[in-house]
Every structure is written in C-alpha cells, then in structure tokens.
Amino acid sequence: MISITQQSQRIVITLDSANIQPLDSTWQQALQGLLQQLQQQTAAGTAAALVQINFQSDKLDRHNAQPSALSREQAAACMQQLADYHELLRQLERLPVPTVAVLHGNIGEHAWGLALACHRRYSLGTALIHPRPAAPGLAPCGGVLVRTARLLGLQAALPLLLDGFELDSSIALELGLLHGAASDAPELEQSLLRAASMPRPPLQPWDEKRPLLPGGAVDSAGNLAFLQLAPARLRARADGATAAARAILCALAESLQVDFDTAVRIESRYFCQSAIALNG
C-alpha cells in the first residue's frame, strides 16, 4: 500500500491511490504508521528537507462505483472515523518540512484529498484529477470540500464541487489547485528543489495568521448576493436540487464562516447527511 525510501535529504513515498479511503480503518492505520515514521525522520536535527509523495494512477471505474448509504444510527461512528482521518491529515500538514504531492495519471477524489493536504502539488506528464466522489449522490468528505473552497473561494469552488469536472493538469494549474505542471523528470526536479526551499515551518494557506479567501469573505456583498441566488439556481438545474447538491452548497457556505477544523466537522456532517439520504 505504501512504500517509503530516503534519498539523501528527500523522503520519497509512493502511494497506491486506489487504497486511499478515509473511511477504511486499514488505510487509516497505514497512514498513521506512515505519519509516525515521517515525524521521526523529519524531526529537528535530521537531514530531511522534503517529503515527496508520488500518487500512483488509479484505475478508476467510475461508472460502476456504488454509493454507500448510511443509516442515522451509523452517523456517529462515521463522524468519528472522519474526525480521526482529519487529525491524520492535519499531522501531515504540520510536518516541519515541506510535503510535495506528485500526481500522474488518474487521481481519484480521496487521493486528491490527500494531495490537497500537501504543501505543494505538481503534476508529472498527464494527470487527470477527479475532484468529486465517484459515486453519485454523495457530498465530498475527507477535507476535499473545505480545502478546495479555501483555495478557490466560494464562487469558483461551487461548480467544481457540484459538477466535478475532471481537471487536467493545465486547468488545475490555471485554477490554482496545482503549483506546477512538469512535462518530464528534470522539470519536476527543479520544482522540487524550489519546494525544498520554502520557509519553515511550511504553512497551508488556511493556517496563516490571517488567511485571505480568494474572491472575498463570505459576507462580502458579491458573495452574499451569490448565496442568495444559489439555492434557486440549484433548483433550476437539470437534475434539480439533489440531496448531494444541497449538501455541497450548504457545506460550502457554512464551512467558510468558521475556522478550518470546525469547517471540516461541518463538511463531515453534510457528507453523512448525503449518505443518509441515499436510504430514501
């Protein structure tokens, strides 16, 4: 599932993207073990200057993906699993050296979620990012919605999360979701060297002292007007205001009004809500 090597000052990890699943305890245990190892290898006094995470292409079978319905009785356990996963991603974000995601081929939602928790993201060659759940009817989880919203802002994030357009490297780069698109290994190496010289400790945008939201604060005039119209626009869509679409809109709006950790809790609630709705 995970391989790890150290090459001089660089720790290189290779992940099988298909195994990345926030609600799978085997994956969570593996990730926890990895993070414990990384914390030791990047501690003060060690030689490590960069953690490179290579995401292996996912053989996505989107057409046959089955959504997992949740009962109300299962919601509390699901919330706890997502809270545990969030804590793991926060450990990744708080490592004292930069973490760099290298993306190639098909990158599914959960692998993308992990990549968003890295300080830098680069594509190598062709990368096709699938930012929304493969299974229709579910709102995102694992921090995907919250991190995407804080990177793009309210109005740019909503269509991406609702419609889940597949993003190739160039579009992802243009949107600001990638920090670079390398066509070959030497070009990637230059990007990695630049990433290694990031200020310490490396900070995610949402961990800055006064994080700025692209497109303005949620209560800015433009965003308030957008939010007032958004439900009506949702209802007017061809598929109407599905449970998942409602959950995504509400989670987006509410998560941007609170601190990051509270935002992910709200995202998790709306994920559970969408999963419960699948029961009809």
Partner 1 sequence: MEHAYLFDAIRTPRGKGKKDGSLHSIKAIDLVAGLMQALQQRHQLDTAQIDDVVLGCVTPVGEQGADIAKTAALVAGWDWQVAGVQLNRFCASGLEAVNLAAQKVRSRWEDLVVAGGVESMSRVPMGSDGGAWANDPATSLRTDFMPQGIGADLIASLDGYQREQVDAFALRSQHKAAAVQAAQRFRSIVPVHDQNGVLVLDHDEFIKPLTTMETLAGLKPSFAQLGAQGFDAMALARYPQLQQVLHVHTAGNSSGIVDGAALALIGSLDAGKRQGLQPRARIVSVAVTGSDPAIMLTGPAPAARKALQKAGLNIRDIDLFEVNEAFASVVLRFMAEMGVPEDKVNVNGGAIALGHPLGATGCMLLATLLDELEARQLKRGMVTLCVGGGMGIATIIERV
Residues of this chain that interact with partner 1 (CB under 8 A) are: 72, 75-76, 79, 219, 254, 257-259, 262, 265-266, 269, 272-273, 276
Asked if 223 and 154 touch (Cβ cutoff 8 Å), the reply is yes
Nearest-approach distance from CB 47 to partner 1, in angstroms: 37
Nearer to partner 1, 122 or 271 (CB): 271
Nearest-approach distance from CB 82 to partner 1, in angstroms: 11
Kindly report the length of the chain.
280
Nearer to partner 1, 198 or 250 (CB): 250
β-pairing verdict for 2-7 and 10-16:
antiparallel
What's the gap between Cα 146 and its chain centre? 8
Nearest-approach distance from CB 277 to partner 1, in angstroms: 10
Intra-chain end-to-end CA distance of the chain, in Å: 35
Nearer to partner 1, 176 or 222 (CB): 222
Task: At 53, give phi and psi (nearest 5°).
Answer: -115, 110
Nearer to partner 1, 112 or 260 (CB): 260
Type of residue at 213: L
Nearest-approach distance from CB 77 to partner 1, in angstroms: 9
Nearest-approach distance from CB 214 to partner 1, in angstroms: 21
CA dist 191 → 4, 7, 11, 180, 236 (Å): 21, 17, 16, 7, 44
Nearer to partner 1, 100 or 252 (CB): 252
| E strand spans, 70-203 | 99-107, 120-129, 167-168, 180-182
Nearer to partner 1, 174 or 261 (CB): 261
Nearer to partner 1, 76 or 212 (CB): 76
Nearest-approach distance from CB 272 to partner 1, in angstroms: 5
Rounded Cα–Cα distance for residues 99 and 193 (Å): 12
Nearest-approach distance from CB 83 to partner 1, in angstroms: 11
- For residue 253, give both structure tokens: 């709006």
CA dist 223 → 20, 23, 158 (Å): 34, 33, 12
Rounded Cα–Cα distance for residues 238 and 177 (Å): 28
Rounded Cα–Cα distance for residues 141 and 93 (Å): 17
